[in-house]
Amino acid sequence: MILNDLPLAAKPREYKLDRLAIDPDAVVPSGKVPCYTHPPEGGGWHYVVRKGEQQILMYCPLCGAPGYLINHEIDAAGTVRPGVQCPNDECDQVVDVQLNGIEG
């Protein structure tokens, strides 16, 4: 199935992503992305410490590409606004996501 060939309204748009089990204190060297050997199917997310700050790294629910959530608002229910654009040029989808397991 090639997503880009689907009419816009038929594209899957909203995803609930589960929090992935990873050491919450894992420190990520600046600029580096801690990548799973096999990207999590259906996406997912976890906290990382990057540049001395806790950040959220999420995986595209469509292709598994990792990306940090920056310049996004995340409410108490884990809803991310605006939509997240995949950093993978071959995917490039914008998806609405809700992060399950967020800590207020």
Tokens of 60: 């595209």
Q: How would you class 53 by CB atoms within 10 Å of its CB: exposed for 0-12, middle for 13-18, buried for 19 or more?
A: exposed
84 binds Zn ion (CB under 5 A): no
Please identify, among the stretches 27-35, 36-44, 68-76, 83-91, the one whose residues bind Zn ion according to the rule CB under 5 A: 83-91
Secondary element (H or E) of residue 85: strand 84-85
Nearer to Zn ion, 22 or 63 (CB): 63
Please identify, among the stretches 13-21, 23-31, 69-77, 87-95, the one whose residues bind Zn ion according to the rule CB under 5 A: 87-95
Strands (E), 18-65: 27-28, 44-50, 53-59
Site for Zn ion in 21-60 (CB under 5 A): 60
95 binds Zn ion (CB under 5 A): no
Contacts with Zn ion by CB under 5 A lie at 60, 62-63, 65, 86, 88, 91
